Amino acid sequence: MLSIEGVRKSFNGREILHGIDLSLGKEKMASVMGKSGSGKSTLLAIMAGLLRPDDGKVLYGDFDIGTADEDTLAEFRLKTIGFIFQDFKLIPSLTVHDNILLGIYPRKDVDEAEKQRRIQALAEEVGLCDRLKEQVNNLSGGEKQRVAIARSLVNQPAVVLADEPTGNLDSKTADGIMALFQRLHQKHETSFLIVTHDQDIAAKTEHIYRIQDGELMS
Ligand SMILES: Nc1ncnc2c1ncn2[C@@H]1O[C@H](COP(=O)(O)OP(=O)(O)OP(=O)(O)O)[C@@H](O)[C@H]1O
Ligand SMILES: [Mg+2]
């Protein structure tokens, strides 16, 4: 269970999150909606341990994400959290294959053949198996987004935090990605927290949270 309690975050003296509580259990596939600038990406980054809260707790079970040292946190993130960045954070000069590999290459407990098998399987799931050797530079926005999705799933994380994962996709492709998330949720109990502006995407999750004026509402 990934949970936050009383999380506060300010930037330059302006408080964006005013003490937020949220629990994401194995059984959950949830979404977060809210206006641009309301703090959705900030919330996700804090939950992933990418950003420290000013106050409050960030816990994964007994593990304290909010205070763990950087090495412990990096190891935890690698194995447990799949993160889809709003701006993808891919390496444009590398191929699709190598960008997905970047998600898993530090894992010593997964052998090379298994890494390659997962990359191939995910490329098929997101519809990019014929583009694996293409440089990311040459891809469309929606294709890049699907590379970022594949990279986030390659470690078979227990939790996926997805920042507008379908924002660049047409509705049919977006539905395909949501169906993939739902299959993973049902098969492996992967929990998902999905930031979206799209009411139809949010409606496919079991629970919709809304951020407004620094508060989270269910
Ligand atoms: N590193 C930072 N330094 C200063 N201000 C920041 C920083 N990160 C975020 N902010 C500010 O915090 C507020 C919330 O930003 P955030 O990116 O979380 O919003 P969002 O809800 O994800 O918006 P969008 O829907 O446009 O992606 C914004 O006003 C933003 O300018
Ligand atoms: Mg955002």
* DSSP summary character for residue 196: -
Query: Does residue 27 register a pLDDT over 90?
Result: no
Predicted confidence (pLDDT) at residue 166 exceeds the cutoff of 90: yes
Atom 24, ligand 1: which residue's CA is nearest? 36
SS3 per-residue string spanning 55-70:
EEEEEECCEECCCCCH
Query: How many whole angstroms from 86 Cα to the centroid of ligand 2?
Result: 6
* pLDDT tens, position by position, 74-128: 999 999 999 999 999 999 999 999 999 999 999 999 999 999 999 999 999 999 9
CB of residue 16 inside a 6 A radius of ligand 1: yes
Ligand 1 pocket member 38 (CB < 6 A): yes
CATH of 2-217, one of 3.10.180.10, 3.60.10.10, 2.60.130.10, 3.40.50.300: 3.40.50.300
Out of 9, 15, 42, mutate this one to test ligand 1's pocket (max ligand atoms within 8 Å of CB): namely 42
Q: Is the CB of residue 202 less than 8 Å from the CB of residue 33? A: yes
- For residue 91, how far is its CA from the centre of ligand 1 (angstroms)? 23
Q: Residue 129 Cα, ligand 1 centroid: separation in angstroms?
A: 34
Longest distance between any two alpha carbons in the chain, whole Å:
50
Q: What angle do CA 95, 96, 98 make, to 5 degrees?
A: 65
Ligand 2 centroid from CA 40, angstroms: 5
For 35-46, the pLDDT digits (tens) are: 999 999 999 999
pLDDT exceeds 90 at position 26? no
Q: Which residue's alpha carbon is nearest to atom 31 within ligand 1? A: 37
Q: Across residues 21-26, what is the average pLDDT?
A: 93
